[in-house]
Structure 1
């Protein structure tokens, strides 16, 4: 097998109703004609699970129940799906992520030289709340890397490391840090754009506290946003003229992220102007998130509470100390070569 024929696609899901079932089924059926296998790990209620099983198995989709039990159901689905995968190149994708032939082919090429590939999601279509959230994405791109709802991972690498902790809220960061703590190579392909269907407005609002809690796993970012609200209050009273200039600086920063790696193809210019609104949102919500973290209460997630957003790189390195370090995939190539592969994907 070569190219996309080597890929296994794992889709973890846990649905409360079947709105969107027809669209998802059509997408999954298209995937089965492009990749080696499609595995859906379904944590939905029993009646929904049976409906999905009847519909998907006749289309050649592998339909499994999660075997693991952990606070973050998505991780349980990923771990089950990765173990069940036949191929070594595995694409993990949320149920709202939509791959096309070109992005799958690029993912397969990158997995030749990396243990983990981080592409870039973009919302399509773009209702108002998706534009708002895109402001966050652009700021992340301007200052580092965004965290998408999909990764490519080498199955042998993840199994070698014993998987990743499923009792964390920010599971994508936990996966990324685990691979790197084990000596793995991560390719950050900021120009590999994968479409994502935006959530409903109600779900968007419900995600605000959880996303703010994610910052407790990133100390520098946490301190930055904790300091913003007091500074804004002082500026409103003492120097209101600074507020428009500050908002303008945030817009310019977001625009730099939009222009990075050809991002203007998928990110609208108006999203850069929503970035100050997102910064204000995070500056306000990070305080209750910080209080919940300090108290150990954690944040509500899927009927339970999770206290840990993600473990520190130092702790993960200590946990993995007894395991042999991962070798560079494909031979003894250096990280510099990996960088050139990721840059080609960006272009």
Structure 2
């Protein structure tokens, strides 16, 4: 299959022009390999400014779908407008190369959704901190990063997915599964991601923890960490706490070594895992407070739901199919 048979959809919402020149250079390179659609939900002046500097080959659209989650609105608009069956969805900090593009396209030959592994292109302290989170996720299955590959026909058969939830990657994947689509968790396909600023990273802590409301068992586990650690400190159970810290580092190392990761992921990142665990132990309680107040504020909107519960999602898909058959 030719590279030109792939659509690259970039949902975008900017508040300034920082990094614009580098992004445009990347899109110029990308448009030489695949069809590119940018769905830009930025303010009108930023939208117009980007339109003036984008390569002519890059299609530039405004989001058309309703919803609370701007990224999901952009994805749905881009998928609807896509000219090809195979689609790569990517955040604005994702940087594919030819090898990664070809790998995702190849895996879509036997799957309806491909979830590759992100790696940071450089490792300031906060990228190492977040890599610890990625490694724990890899140990228990796979990480949800900033890019996916999806078949357009499969997502359209599901009637799209909800744009009113926070954890939109998980929502999209669950929707694909509910229509019988095959999901490939491609832990061995590595796609680079530019690290955020430290300020942006710190601002994401509670929002990322809020995603766990879409995964109740994980949520309950993380809510239990802070009381257990507090009790351990209060009773001076230092050997037990040290053993637990060593155990989580061991879990992260399992994730680092999976599917060739040890060749790509810096070994020292595993040592940041206890800090990430403690951060999540606090953030998840702050996320619970946000939930009780009506939801998390994300990109200017308050979003109550992290994800549609699976029984409701299955009933929605079944109802849509029944109506279609009727």
Which position in structure 1 is the counterpart of 2:281? 283
In structure 2, runs of 5+ residues without a counterpart are none
Question: Is 1:6 aligned to 2:5, yes or no?
Answer: yes
Q: How far is 1:285 from its partner?
A: 1.4
1:322 deviates by: 3.1
Cross-structure match for 1:330: none
Name the CA distance, whole Å, in 2 between partners of 1:305 and 1:208: 16
- Structure 1, unpaired ranges of 5+: 326-347
Question: What's the counterpart of residue 114 of structure 1?
Answer: 111
* Counterpart Cα distance in 2 of 1:322 and 1:111: 27
Describe the SS at the equivalent of 1:49: helix
1:197 aligns with 2:194: yes
Structure 1 residue 323: deviation in Å?
4.2
Q: In the comparison of the two structures, how many residue pairs are matched?
A: 321
Provide runs of 4+ in structure 1 moved above 4 Å.
none
SS at 2:238's partner residue?
coil
Contact conserved, 1:3 with 1:105, CA < 8 A, in 2? Answer: no
Q: Distance in 2 between matches of 1:82 and 1:287?
A: 36
Match for residue 133 of structure 2 among 117, 132, 136: 136
Distance 1:185 1:296 in 2: 37
Secondary structure of the corresponding residue to residue 278 of structure 2: helix
Mapping of residues 148-297 of structure 1, within 5 Å:
148-238=145-235, 239-293=237-291, 295=292, 297=294
Counterparts of 1:86-97 in structure 2, within 5 Å, are 86-97=83-94
Quote how far apart the aligned CAs of 1:303 are: 1.5
Contact 1:3 1:108 in 2 (8 A): no
Q: Provide the residue aligned with 2:30 in structure 1.
A: 31
Change (3 A) 1:60 1:154: same
Q: Which residues of 2 match residues 43-122 of structure 1 at below 5 A?
A: 43-56=41-54, 58-122=55-119
Output the CA distance in 2 between the equivalents of 1:193 and 1:108.
Answer: 13
**RMSD of aligned C-alpha atoms?**
1.2
1:3 Cα offset (Å): 3.7
Q: TM-score, normalised by structure 2?
A: 0.96
